[in-house]
Amino acid sequence: MRDFWGALPTEGRWLLSTVAINTFGRGLTLPFTVIYLHEVRGFDLGFAGLLMSLIAAVGLVVTGPAGALTDRFGARNVLLVGLASMIAGCVLLAFAEHPAVATLAIVLIGVNFGTSWPAQNALIAAVVDGELRQQYFGVNFALVNLGIGVGGIVGGLFVNVDEPMTFTLIFLGDALTCLVPIALLLGPLRHVRTHATAHGHDDDSRGQHGGYRALLREPAVRWITLLSFVAVFVGYGQFEAGFPAYARGVAEVSTQVVGFAFAINTAVIVLLQFTVLARIAGHRRTRVLLVMAAVWAGSWLVLGTSGLLPGSLAAAIGVLAFTGVFAFGETLMQPTIPAIVNDLADDRNRGRANAVNAGAFQGGAIAGPIVAGLLLDHGLEGAYIGLMAIGCLAVGVLALALERRLPAAANGVPAVRNAAVSERPPVE
């Protein structure tokens, strides 16, 4: 960690030092938003669930334009707009007593989700490069989990459905934490440039009309996009929906076990991420994804065994083991895919490249719960676990296919990447 911190430029240290603070605010509210909408504001549970899905839907719609705007006006400006939208959404939601007000608040929060991914990743890529970039994405992921995890614990201890003001305060707290990155963007990071220089106007103009089409004509971009979609479909798309449904309905474990399983997931990520980063340094990123696919396949098989002894101690152990093994796979995935995406891009299309990858993630996160719900609702637990295992196998196949089309520098081959960096023109 000392070596990593010492290698970071000043802007990178500023950017990384506030990640946990900002995500602490999301942790305060994320686990309790549905409870707040239903039990505190009295909205129908179906309507509350619809509002939660609206965040992802709005984010998916906004991601494409946000990527183009990032390339045109810079990540800093797009992030400022997204953060302002987040603050407005949280403040509105804190006092939302009418469904229309709650809907508007959720839309504003969704706008931030759609803009933050491509702009934030473009900003990171502008600050760090090469092997340091891969390490940065991994450390950033660990800090995000740490902030959300601590925020969730604090929120759980603080909120009370019999005292609506406690929920109002956590949403206002979420809004306040957004002021920290705003201060950074207006202060120490105000000079960071993420978009093409003035002499690239012709490329930018062409990019506004055909940028996404041109990007998707690149074979490596298409393969990493497909791999991301399938990985999220069998990963995050199940972790917040299919996994808890299987744990409760098939393995028949208590809600306390499910809650503890999520805590184990966060702890494993925070504790293992630095070790994993040291182990994967210098290795082909596609091979790291291949290992991740095998680890996730193993985690789903472990969860499947928990359903063979429902309601037992063995079932509880299987559920807890699943989240721990799954978390190990996450520590392999999160430093790798963003590094590939940003090494394939340049300043003219970095925002759009991250937007395409964000769209793949969001698409997998939307499709995953739908498929899980259909299979588990019809009692097809075995088919569900089998599909997840096959999906992990598909991720491994896609990683090998991507390796044949991925430039060596983007695949983390040290010698080639260093040569590519040394050949870059100096920054003016």
In a domain, 196, yes or no: no
What letter would DSSP give residue 39? Answer: I
Domain end position, chosen among 134, 157, 190: 190
> pLDDT, tens digit, for every residue of 186-212?
988 888 776 655 444 444 434 444 588
Average predicted confidence (pLDDT) for the chain = 86
In a domain, 205, yes or no: no
Domain end position, chosen among 158, 190, 222: 190
The domain total for the chain is 2
More confident: 231 or 135: 231
Beta carbons within 8 Å of 198's beta carbon, 6+ residues apart: none
Same domain (yes/no): 126, 233:
no
Same domain (yes/no): 231, 321:
yes
Give me the domain span that covers residue 327: 213-419
Query: How far is Cα 34 from Cα 109, in angstroms, rounded to an integer?
Result: 14
Query: How far is Cα 395 from Cα 124, in angstroms, rounded to an integer?
Result: 26
* Arithmetic mean of pLDDT, 140-169: 87
Give the model's pLDDT for residue 415: 54
Q: Is the pLDDT of residue 230 over 50?
A: yes
> pLDDT, tens digit, for every residue of 299-318?
999 999 999 989 899 999 99
**pTM score:** 0.82
Of 167-181, 187-201, 247-261, minimum mean pLDDT range: 187-201
What letter would DSSP give residue 312? Answer: S
Q: Is the dihedral of CA 136, 141, 145, 148 positive or negative?
A: positive
Return the residue matching tokens 């789903």.
300
Q: What is the CATH number of the domain that holds 75?
A: 1.20.1250.20
Beta carbons within 8 Å of 181's beta carbon, 6+ residues apart: 18, 22, 79, 83
In a domain, 204, yes or no: no
